[in-house]
Chain A
Amino acid sequence: MSIDHAPRTQTGQTAQSAQATEAAQTTPNAATALSTLDVLESEAIHIIREVAAEFEKPVLLFSGGKDSVTVLHLAAKAFWPAKIPFGLLHVDTGHNFPEIIRFRDETAQRFGLDLTVAKVQDYIDDGRLRERPDGTRNTLQTQPLLDAIADGGFDAVFGGARRDEDKARAKERILSLRDEFGGWNPSNQRPELWNIYNGRHLPGEHVRVFPISNFTELDVWSYIARENIDLPELYFAHEREVFNRDNMWWATGEFSVPREDEDVIRRTVRYRTVGDMSCTGAVESDAADFDSILAEVAATTVTERGATRADDRISAAAMEDRKKDGYF
C-alpha cells in the first residue's frame, strides 16, 4: 500500500471489463453504483473508525481465523497510513492447530501490534477451570476472555462474528453491550439507527463490536480473494491424516485421537472454519486456491458451522446460551 498509485476508478477496483459490462446491464444506475463488497468494506471501516475514536481502549479479538483476519485487514485500511491504534487479544484454548498459533504470532509481528494471549491451560493448571468430560474447551474460553478484558481495561472488543453464521447472531447489533458479567441481554438491545452508533456504557460494562456483521461467508471469501489477504494454510486443500466421526473429517493429533473403530486414512481436505482441533472438522476438498474455494462456497448446501463445528450441533440455542454467558 502506498499513496503514489495511479488514480483509480471510484470503486477502488481494478477494471474487470467482462464483469463490469454485466453489472452495467443489471444494475439500475451502474455509473455510480458501488459493488456489494465496496459498500460492506466502507461500512466496516466506518464502524472501526467510530469505535477507535469514541472508546478509551479497544482491542481486536484475533484467532487467526478468516473472519478475524478480515477485520484486521479492514482495521489496517481504516487508519492507513497510520498504524492500527489498538492491539490484539487471543484466547488460546490449548487445543489450537499449531499452524494457527504460528500464523497468529507472525501476523501480530507483521502489523507491529501488541498481542495479549489468555490461556485456558493456565486456568486448568491452577484449578480455576476444570476439563469437561467431553474434552471440548470451547465453553471454557469465556472466563479467560472476560478476565483478559477486565485486566486489560478494554472497553471495546472487536470480533469477526457475522450475522449469517447463526440465528442468535442474526439478531445481534453491530455494537453489542455487555454487562458487568460479560453477558448479552438479547431481549433488551439498543435500537441501532442509521449509521449512528451509541457505544455509551457504564463502568465495568464493555461493548463488543462486529464490523463485518453484514458480510456473508461468500462475501468474506470474495473479499479475501479480491484483497489477496494472507490466510493460514489450513483453509486451502492439503493432504493430511484424518478419521471420520459424525460425518466430519478430524485431523489426528494430541487433542483428537481416533477410537479403535475409526480408521485413519490420508485425504485431501480443507477447513471452512478454524476452531479447536477437538471440535473443528475438515471437509473433503480439492480447493487449493481462492477461485476454487469461492466456487465451492457458492455451491455449498450446508452452513459452515453445521458442516464443521461440533460445538454448534449441541442445540438450536447453543450460540445464544454461550453469548448470554459472555462468549464471543
Chain B
Amino acid sequence: MTTTTTAETATTPETTTPEPTTAVVDAKTKTLLRFATAGSVDDGKSTLVGRLLHDAKAILADQLEAVTATSRERGFLGGEFDFALLTDGLRAEREQGITIDVAYRYFATDRRSFILADCPGHVQYTRNMVTGATTADAVVVLIDARNRPTEQTRRHLTVVSRLGIRHVIIAVNKIDLLDYDQTAIEAVEREVADIAAEVGLESPHIIPMSALAGDNIATTSDNTPWYQGPALLDLLETLPSKDEDTADLEPFRLDVQTVLRPQGGLAPGLDADDFRDYRAVAGQITSGRVSLGDEIDVHPAGIRTRVTGIDTADGPLQTAGAPQSVALRLADDIDTARGTVIAGAGTLPPARKELRAEVFPFTSEGLRTGDRVLVKTGTTTVKGIVTIETKRNLATAQTEAAEVLAGNDIGQATVKLSAELPVADFRAHGSAGAFVIIDPQSGNTLAAGIHTPEETA
C-alpha cells in the first residue's frame, strides 16, 4: 500500500511496525471480555495499558509514530516511549499530563476480543471506576511494588468489592525495580492480599509483573521462576465473562423496552397478512435463559403465561440467553408496555416500594437525606426520596452513621419509590438489582446504586 508511514525509522525497539495479526475474521466466533484497569497515577497503569495494546499488536503504525514523535518532544530520550500518550485522548489531559476520563480501548488476541475501560485513579476516582467497572467482567487494580499498597489501593479494592466484580486481578507492578527479589515481592503480595480480604474480596488473582519490562504480561517471565500463576494476558483470555458464568444459572429476566406492533407501519418487504395480529415485547435479556414454551411471570400484570415465540430479525429462536436482544411473543394477550418485567415462573423478585441500597454519589453536591430524585432501574424511571443511613470509611472499612454523602463517598441509604418495582438483590443477581439516581431538575446522573436488602447498615 502506498500509505505506509515512516514508523520504521523510529529509534525505539517499541516502534517497529506490528506484525499483521492472525486474528482475521474471528469476531464471528471469538468471545468478548470487558475489563477495566484502575490504579494511582504512578502505578504504571498507562504503561500497562500501552504494553497490553502493544503486545496484542493493537497499536497501528501511525498511532505509534505520533506517540513516538511526541515522546521525543517531551524529552523522553534514548527511544523511551510515553505509553500514556496513547490513552490520554483529550487536549487537557495531554497538556496537564493527567488522565481525566475513562478511555475505552480495543484489542484482540487469537483467542478473544477485549474491551478495556481505562479508569484514571486520582481524579474523581469513584465516578470513573464505577463507570468503567459496572460493565466489566474483570478489573485489574495496579499497585507499585516499591510503594506497597496505598490508601488509594484500599479505596480501589473497596469499590470493586462493593460493586461485586467477579474477577479481581491485583497487578503488583514495577517488580523490576525490586530486582525481582522474591522475598520483597511476596511481602507486598501478602500485604495486599490482607487488605483484599479485609474489604471482602475472596480470591483475587495476584500477579507480580513489570509492565515496562514486559514480565508476566503476554508470557510468564524467566525473572520470576517462583511465580506459578498465569501471565496477565493468559488469565484474561481464559476468565469466563459474566454471562458465560451465569446465563445457565441465573433466573430468566427481561425488562421490556418497547412493544413491537407492526400495525403502525410494517418493515418494507413483509406481507401485512402475516403480521396482522403480531405483538411482541422487545428487550435485552438481563439474566438467565428462556426457551420456547417456558412459563413466565409478568410484572405488574401479576399474570403467569407462556412464551410462544422468541423472535429476532434473523428468524425465531428455540432458546436465548443474556445478553441477547430479542422479542418475545406471549400466549395470553396481557397488558404489557415499556417497564414491564418478565421473569421465569416463580423467580420474580417481590415488588417493593423501598430499596435498601449501597450508593456511590458522583457529583460535588453529593447525596443528602431528604433529596427528591429520579430512580432509573431496568427500563423504568420512578420518583424517589433518599435517606442516607451510613457512610463507609474507606480507610478503616468501618461504617459510621451519616446524613450526607459527598461525591466519591460510598454509603448505605434507603430510597423510597413512587411505585412498587421488582428490583432484585444485587448481591445475588447482579445488574437486575442496579439503579441510577438522577437529578430531576438538571437531568444529571447523581449516583449509582445497588439494592442490597440483606446487608444491614
Contacts of B269 in A (CB 8 A): 1
Contacts of A300 in B (CB 8 A): 20, 60
Contacts of A168 in B (CB 8 A): 89-90
CB of A295 within 8 A of CB of B24, answer: yes
Contacts of A164 in B (CB 8 A): 105-106
Q: Known interface pairs A6-B315, A195-B431. Does A16 touch B28 (Cβ–Cβ under 8 Å)? A: yes
Minimum CB–CB distance from B76 to chain A (whole Å) comes to 16
Interface residues of A in 245-288 (CB under 8 A from B): 247-249, 281, 283-285
- A201–B445 CA distance with the chains assembled, in angstroms: 11
Minimum CB–CB distance from A48 to chain B (whole Å) comes to 9
B202 CB–A CB distance under 8 Å: no
- A266–B442 CA distance with the chains assembled, in angstroms: 57
Most chain A CB inside 10 Å of its own CB: which residue of B106, B110, B278: B106
Interface residues of B in 1-44 (CB under 8 A from A): 1-5, 7, 17-18, 20-21, 23-32
Minimum CB–CB distance from B230 to chain A (whole Å) comes to 13
Contacts of B267 in A (CB 8 A): 1, 76, 79-84
Minimum CB–CB distance from B98 to chain A (whole Å) comes to 11
Q: Which chain B residue lies CB-closest to A242?
A: B2
A-B contacts, 30 listed (Cβ < 8 Å): A1-B315, A3-B309, A5-B314, A8-B315, A8-B318, A10-B318, A27-B112, A35-B28, A36-B32, A46-B284, A49-B258, A50-B257, A53-B338, A80-B311, A81-B266, A82-B261, A170-B89, A191-B130, A191-B131, A193-B130, A218-B108, A219-B113, A222-B27, A226-B28, A281-B3, A283-B1, A285-B1, A294-B24, A303-B63, A307-B1
Minimum CB–CB distance from A12 to chain B (whole Å) comes to 5
Minimum CB–CB distance from A49 to chain B (whole Å) comes to 4
Contacts of A170 in B (CB 8 A): 87, 89, 103-105
A214 CB–B CB distance under 8 Å: yes
B312 CB–A CB distance under 8 Å: yes
A134 CB–B CB distance under 8 Å: no
Minimum CB–CB distance from B260 to chain A (whole Å) comes to 5
CB of A306 within 8 A of CB of B63, answer: yes
- A195–B135 CA distance with the chains assembled, in angstroms: 8
Q: Known interface pairs A12-B314, A81-B260, A200-B443. Does A112 touch B377 (Cβ–Cβ under 8 Å)? A: no
Q: Known interface pairs A49-B257, A80-B313, A284-B2. Does A19 touch B26 (Cβ–Cβ under 8 Å)? A: yes
B346 CB–A CB distance under 8 Å: no
Contacts of B103 in A (CB 8 A): 167, 170-171
CB of A37 within 8 A of CB of B102, answer: no
A139 CB–B CB distance under 8 Å: no
Contacts of B27 in A (CB 8 A): 35-37, 40, 218-219, 222-223
Q: Which chain B residue lies CB-closest to A41?
A: B325
- A317–B30 CA distance with the chains assembled, in angstroms: 33
Partner of A43, one of B5, B92, B315, B323: B323
Contacts of B18 in A (CB 8 A): 301
Minimum CB–CB distance from B455 to chain A (whole Å) comes to 19
Contacts of A249 in B (CB 8 A): 2
- A204–B321 CA distance with the chains assembled, in angstroms: 40
Binds A, one of B175-183, B244-252, B389-397: B244-252
Binding site for A on B (CB under 8 A): 1-5, 7, 17-18, 20-21, 23-32, 60-63, 66, 70, 87-92, 94, 100-106, 108, 110-113, 115, 127-128, 130-131, 134-135, 237-241, 243-245, 247-248, 257-258, 260-262, 264-270, 274-275, 278, 282-284, 289, 292, 309, 311-321, 323-325, 327, 338, 362, 374, 376-379, 431, 434-436, 438, 442-445, 448
Minimum CB–CB distance from A158 to chain B (whole Å) comes to 16
Q: Known interface pairs A10-B319, A198-B445. Does A29 touch B240 (Cβ–Cβ under 8 Å)? A: yes
Nearest first, the 8 closest Cβ-Cβ pairs linking A and B are A5-B315, A200-B443, A167-B89, A306-B62, A299-B20, A80-B313, A83-B265, A77-B313
A45 CB–B CB distance under 8 Å: yes
Most chain B CB inside 10 Å of its own CB: which residue of A85, A247, A248: A247
Contacts of A79 in B (CB 8 A): 260, 267, 282
- A22–B31 CA distance with the chains assembled, in angstroms: 12
Partner of B436, one of A26, A42, A196: A196
- A76–B108 CA distance with the chains assembled, in angstroms: 28
- A283–B213 CA distance with the chains assembled, in angstroms: 36
Q: Known interface pairs A50-B257, A171-B102, A316-B66. Does A195 touch B284 (Cβ–Cβ under 8 Å)? A: yes
- A168–B88 CA distance with the chains assembled, in angstroms: 9
Contacts of B239 in A (CB 8 A): 28
A186 CB–B CB distance under 8 Å: yes
Besides A194-B134, A196-B378, A284-B2, 6 more A-B contacts (Cβ < 8 Å) are A23-B29, A33-B31, A83-B266, A171-B101, A186-B100, A196-B376
- A49–B284 CA distance with the chains assembled, in angstroms: 10
A20 CB–B CB distance under 8 Å: yes
CB of A194 within 8 A of CB of B434, answer: yes
CB of A186 within 8 A of CB of B438, answer: no
Q: Known interface pairs A1-B314, A302-B60. Does A27 touch B31 (Cβ–Cβ under 8 Å)? A: yes
